[in-house]
Amino acid sequence: MSTKAKKAAKKAAKKTTARKRSGMRGKRYSVEEKQEIIDFVIAYNAENGRGGQSAAVKKYGLSALTVGAWLKKGGNAGKGGRITSSFATIAINKKVSELIDLGDSIRKAEVELEKLRARYSMLSSNIRSSI
């Protein structure tokens, strides 16, 4: 083994040993923290079409792999979580909700229009009968 290879192996072993001794681990995120980040990604994508994962990586200082894993995890963020990764389903559900709201508004407007037509008809017939 060459001197460079020995030094590299020794350095790698030292890093591994130091990490084991210090108990270094990545930060553990709570379900609420994960959900906040996933909600941010979903909201960003809904507003901008895409790029939410990258924006979350920059905003929260996370690894893209971490955010991606949470998104892939789907309907569960651990115990009691609700992480959802299906952006298409979310977008469709949002549009369906908007359509339902719009349909309700149209129905209300149609009811009001019918009342106005009945009132107009009554007034116009009263005017005709008095002429």
| Tens digits of residue pLDDT in 9-28 | 777 666 655 555 555 567 88
pLDDT digits (tens, 9 = 90+) for 75-114: 444 444 444 445 556 667 778 888 899 999 999 999 999 9
Separation CA 38–CA 30 (nearest Å)? 12
Q: What is the DSSP letter of 78?
A: S
Q: Please, what is the average pLDDT of the chain?
A: 79
pLDDT computed for residue 88 by the predictor: 58
pLDDT digits (tens, 9 = 90+) for 49-65: 888 899 999 999 999 99
Q: Indicate whether 4 pLDDT > 90.
A: no
pLDDT computed for residue 80 by the predictor: 42
Separation CA 52–CA 36 (nearest Å)? 13
pLDDT computed for residue 96 by the predictor: 83
Number of neighbouring beta carbons within 10 Å of residue 34: 19
